[in-house]
Amino acid sequence: MRSLQLGAGDGTRTGVFVFESDTAGQLAVLTIPGLRLDLVDVTDPYLVDMTHPAVLALLSALQAGLWCSPFGYALGTCIAALVETAP
């Protein structure tokens, strides 16, 4: 799935994606270590660029029902996509 690759950056950024689930009140968090620099929002360095084609492709694939949370909840809408940075 090379087209969905968001990682392999310089290792200082982690993408943190928060999803609603199919169970009320339950959220799921997906982290992607080594988030590529070109996926960081140019207006806010603490947000993932949700308009980038690679990010949209990943979200579409995740929400298509192929993956779930560790507790078996289906992933719904991505409600936040943040960039965590390491020194």
The pLDDT tens digits for 1-39 are 343 455 555 668 899 999 998 888 889 898 988 888 899
Give the range of the structural domain holding residue 66, as residue numbers without chain letter. 2-85
The pLDDT tens digits for 47-81 are 999 999 999 998 998 888 777 888 888 888 999 99
Total number of domains in the chain = 1
Classify each residue of 29-66 as buried b or exposed e, where b means 16 or more C-beta atoms within 10 Å of its C-beta: ebebeebbeebbbeeeeeebbeebeebeebbeebeeee
